[in-house]
Amino acid sequence: MGKLNVTLLRYLSREDFRVLTAVEMGMKNHEVVPGSLISSIAGVKPGECLKILRNLAKHRLVCYEHKKSCGYRLTFLGYDYLALKALANRDVLYSIGSMIGVGKESDVYVVANASGKLFALKVHRLGRTSFRKLKEKRDYHRHRHATSWIYLSRLAAMKEFAYMKE
């Protein structure tokens, strides 16, 4: 895995992030999100949305699927970009350093805020081969029949954050 590659982050536009967010929102109910739904959620014209999706796919932030149905799904890198953008918008995060640890369900990076104070950023990576029994052993999955690893990673991160706040 190595260092988290965030070079593209500063070059993405507001519309790019709106489309990424639309893919995330669509994945709550769809395994693969149709382009028309992404365009509708993002409030972007279909032609422009397709152009943005192709660019995001080129940089591996989304992945185009055409097995059962055609559409897009968010990749872990795309989800990381959404999270980093949210943290940057809240002035929590200013720069990202190197990886300081790898666990069975997460990667840990050194990050800094605008004043230079250092923090650890834990990025969940559920679904690795060493952690495939998560759906049986943890309660993130609950009674859902099919849930993406990205969504389960988000639930795990939210649960861990809640424990850390206590």
pLDDT in tens, 95-117: 988 889 887 777 889 999 999 99
pLDDT of residue 142: 57
Report which DSSP code applies to 27: T
H or E segment and range at residue 119 = strand 118-124
Q: How far apart are CA 56 and CA 79, in angstroms?
A: 12
Asked if residues 18 and 53 have their Cβ atoms less than 8 Å apart, the reply is: no
Please, how many CA atoms are within 13 Å of residue 112, restricted to the half-sphere of its CB? 8
Q: Which residue type sits at 131?
A: F
Q: How far apart are CA 13 and CA 59, in angstroms?
A: 14
Q: Which residue type sits at 15?
A: E
Q: Mean pLDDT lowest for which of 22-26, 82-86, 115-119, 155-159?
A: 155-159
pLDDT of residue 135: 53
Give the right CATH number for 91-140+147-165 from 3.90.480.20, 1.10.287.3510, 3.30.200.20, 3.30.460.80. 3.30.200.20
Q: Does pTM top 0.85 for this prediction?
A: no
In this structure, what token pair is assigned to residue 106? 């997460």
Q: 12-61, pLDDT tens digit by residue? A: 999 999 999 999 999 888 889 999 999 999 999 999 999 999 999 999 99
Domains of the chain, residue spans:
9-76, 91-140+147-165
Asked if residues 97 and 120 have their Cβ atoms less than 8 Å apart, the reply is: no
Q: Does domain 9-76 have CATH number 1.10.10.10?
A: yes
pLDDT of residue 57: 96
Q: 114-135, pLDDT tens digit by residue? A: 999 998 888 876 554 544 555 5
* Bridge partners of residue 96, in order along the sequence: 111
Burial class (CB in 10 A: 0-12, 13-18, 19+), 137: exposed
pLDDT of residue 136: 56
pLDDT of residue 47: 96
User: Is the alpha carbon torsion for 35, 39, 45, 49 positive or negative?
Assistant: negative
Q: Quick check: 1 pLDDT over 50?
A: no
pLDDT of residue 31: 85
- E strand map for 79-140: 95-102, 106-112, 118-124
Helix, strand, or coil here: 156? helix
Q: How far apart are CA 8 and CA 82, in angstroms?
A: 12
